[in-house]
Amino acid sequence: MTDDGGPAAMMGAEPFEYYGTERSYSPHWENSVTVASGYQTMTVDTLAAADLISPTPLLVVHGTTDEFCSPEGAQAVYDRAGDPKKIVWLPTTNHIDLYDVPEFVNPAVDELTAFFSEHL
């Protein structure tokens, strides 16, 4: 990640404000990306895979604002997947809100808990 517009897997202020600060500190984290993981990120086709999910239950928990994983893309995957499925929208202000902001993480965990309790 970078905040100066240089090459990065996640560019801009939003990832830098998380990964570049104490907020996400881990002694094992390294600010790098491999060619293989970069390729996988750029070529993943979640929409094509949506057809293959059913009859496995699908839960999509997504923020309403996200510059890195579009809400439209999440809705398209949900629409294309077969049943059983559920989509939950949380009123986030960015992608990283779902990492550690209790206002969004707690309802996401509640949804996951209920979904797993029903389907596992």
Cα dihedral across residues 32, 14, 97, 40: positive or negative: negative
What's the pLDDT tens digit per position in 55-99? 999 999 999 999 989 999 999 999 999 999 999 999 999 999 999
Domain positions in the chain are 1-44, 45-120
Q: Which two tokens stand for residue 96?
A: 């990283």
Q: Which two tokens stand for residue 48?
A: 């094509």
Nearest to 84 by CA among 108, 60, 56: 56
Question: Which pLDDT score is estimated for 34?
Answer: 77
Calculate mean pLDDT across residues 19-37: 81
35: confidence class by pLDDT, cuts 50, 70, 90: confident
Q: How many residues does the chain have?
A: 120
